Amino acid sequence: MHKLIAGLAIATVLAGCSSGVKPVDPIDALMQRYSGDVPGASLLVIKDGKAIVNRSYGLSNVEDHDDAAPATNYRLASVSKQFTAAAILLLAENGRLHLDDTARRWLPSLPEVTAGVTLRQLLTHTGGLVDYEDLIPAGTTDQVSDQDVLRMLSATAKTYFAPGTAYRYSNTGYVLLGLVVEQASGVSLPLFLQQHIFQPLHMDHTLLYERGGPPIDHRAYGYSEENGHWTRTDQSVTSATRGDGGIYSSVEDLAKWDAALYDNRLLSDASRNLAFTAHVKVTGEPYEAGYGYGWRITGDTLWHSGESIGFRNVIVRWPKQHLTVILLSNRNDPEPYRSALAIAQPYLQEP
């Protein structure tokens, strides 16, 4: 499926290059929608540990006409989940928690109906917990916090299915995992990530953003296209939750994260194997995949997309080929996964 999507995209680009006309760079052609005075994107292709494509397009701040750059920090949205999962795995390695602990052991206010839900099931979206987005009262304008999610879920005496019996993508589960990190470590989730992941990997400009906390350097603001015009849509009522999507980072910093996933400088071999193993089949999503811990697995690829209001991102890794494509954007469209596959295709074909 990957090759079909990528092949069609490249064929479309090549078909547009008529004889006698200067050929269009195929990557720039695929990224054309991000170019100009519009919300943009940053693209990084890493092969054998080296950045072979590092380009940015468009604007990170439309109102101030700030160009997007490799150091631009985008809201990662659900790409953040792999960091929350890594935090849980680090705590498990250190004996601070066990993956088969129940969520209620760490968050005792959860209702009795969730008694059998384990951390392992939260990691793989098999806990059956109700989506917190569906619990937010109509007319809510204040941003929902992690504690709000816990409070709403604690007052909800139902689940979608018995834990471990099905898959349903769950932002709720990853919000709770972030709260478990705090309970098990004794420090805030932003501080734990900073001390145990970002600082050791020298991801110096990456942070889990909280209002009133440290500012975001080189911040990209999110936008949505409405009636042919770009409108800033940087925050919504669900933009303040953390474990499911609150990290800001750049392609430069994510290159350091990618490098750490090849060895044990951060996570042990056993932990990385757990994260990168398909424990359950993904259902209800448009792509064939299994799910590990914060990663989708399709064929030879490890990947995850991230979408929140005004941002669309993806990281796709081909570990056997030592190839990674990272595409971060501060706009609601287009969806970047297919573009990332197409961009990778020529490098996968190299001997």
Instruction: Report the half-sphere exposure of 30 (CA within 13 A, side-chain side).
Output: 25
Both structure tokens of 128: 């059956």
Residue 154 is among the residues annotated as catalytic for this protein:
no
Conformation bin of residue 103: beta by default, left when phi > 0, alpha when psi is -120 to 50: alpha
Sign of the four-CA dihedral 235, 237, 242, 244: negative
Both structure tokens of 201: 């990997």
Q: Among residues 165, 180, 212, which one has the least CA distance to residue 92?
A: 180
How far apart are alpha carbons 324 and 5 in whole angstroms?
A: 17
Both structure tokens of 174: 């990853």
- Catalytic residue from among 60, 78, 185, 250: 78
Count of beta carbons in the 10 Å neighbourhood of residue 345 = 17
Conformation bin of residue 332: beta by default, left when phi > 0, alpha when psi is -120 to 50: alpha
In this structure, the chain runs to a length of: 351
How far apart are alpha carbons 87 and 275 in whole angstroms?
A: 11
Active site residues: 78
